[in-house]
Every structure is written in structure tokens, then in C-alpha cells.
Amino acid sequence: MMNTPLPCDRPDLSEPELAGEAVAFRHVAPKLDALLSGLLVMILLGSCGLIASFELAAGSDWRVAAGMAIGLAGAFAFLMLATVRIMWVPTARRFPARPILNGAVARSGQFLAIGALCRFNGCITAVTDREHLHLVPVAAFRWFGARRMSLPWCAIENVRPFLWPIFARAEVGGTAIVAPAWCLKPPSGANGADETTGGSTGRSGPPNLSASG
């Protein structure tokens, strides 16, 4: 029996704003996305500055303290780049961005885990519509090449509770993901109405867009 490849298996590295997008991405969660990105950068740079300050207070030469701060910032940047390139990019290439449809529901500041090591704590905007679960990292991760991905409901399988009731675990193309339970359940009338496997069954008219942070 031959497996029919999903339409989303076609390589496509589209930017977040797509032709035919019914809901402009910039209208989904614009303010919180920028806030979370700024907060992430402030935490990283603040940590480097704090360590440099401790070194100066301990009597170290300012050049040593500055070198430590720059080296730590570089290590953070390398870690973010490695996380994006090793875990996010391969999945995003298989499930590239698709248009966000009318009736989409968006929530920012969401948790996402890909595999055993990759964690995006509060750095994801999850958007659900009748066709896909769209996952959008905050701008700080997009700077390192983490593009928006769109998971069709038919590709989200074996959804089950994970540790706390608000989280669920699922399989996507052989990769385990953990995310808020609300976004792993197809919305009413989705083309993935099978709540267990996300199989496509039919269409229905979309509700109005709602977004929350």
C-alpha cells in the first residue's frame, strides 16, 4: 500500500505573510510578540551584564569582564542558533507556513517542546484554524531562522494528556511534541475532525477571529 505524501511535504520557505492569507499575520498577536522578544533579549543581555559587574566588583580587569560578557552572549546566541537549526528548521521545512484562515484563534506566550531537548517556554504564538495548527516563534527566534510552521490536523497523531491537564503530547511526522492541550485539539468543523488522529473529514464555515495573549 502506497503512502500519499501530505501537501505540506512540499518544500516551501515562505515568509509569515502569505499570498491568499485571510487573516494578516501581523494582526494575530503583534504586541505580545514584540514584548516577548524584547524581554528575551533583555534577560540574555542583562545576565551577561550582571556577570561582568560581578567580575569588576571582584577586582578583575575591565577587559576580562567585558570579554566574559561578550563570550557569554556569544554562547547564548550559538545555543539559540543550534536549537533552531537542529530542531525547528527540519520540522518547518516539512510543514511550511500556510495561509491563516478566517475564524482562527490565536494565543501568544505558549509553551512548546519538540523532541526531548528543544523547549520554547512562552516564546510561541499558537494559531488554530479549520485546516492547520500554526506555530510562530517570537521575533528573537525568527532572527535565527525559525520560520512559522503550519501543521495540518491530519499530521497530529496520538494526542494524549501530559503531566498536567493543560498540556498534551502528540506525534507529528514521527517527532514528539508537547504543547498546550487546547491547540492540539481540532476546532469544531475542522478538516481534521477526528480528535484522536486529526484525520480530515469535512468543512464548515469559520467563526470570527479571536486572539488572546
Domain-wise residue ranges, the chain: 26-206
What CATH architecture applies to the domain 26-206? Roll (2.30)
Q: For residue range 124-148, what is the model confidence (pLDDT) as tens digits?
A: 889 999 999 999 888 778 888 888 8
For residue 174, pLDDT over 60 is answered with yes
Q: Is 156 strand, coil or helix? A: strand
The structure's pTM equals 0.69
The three-point CA angle 136-119-145 to 5° equals 45
Q: How confident is the model at residue 151 (pLDDT cuts 50, 70, 90)?
A: very high
What the block records as the C-alpha cell of 67 is 570579554
Joined grid coordinates for residue 96: 511550511
* φ/ψ of residue 57, rounded to 5: -65, -30
User: Mean per-residue pLDDT for 81-87?
Assistant: 83
Identify the burial level of 106 via C-beta atoms within 10 angstroms of its C-beta, where 0-12 means exposed, 13-18 middle and 19 or more buried: buried
Q: State the pLDDT confidence band at 52, using cuts at 50, 70 and 90.
A: confident
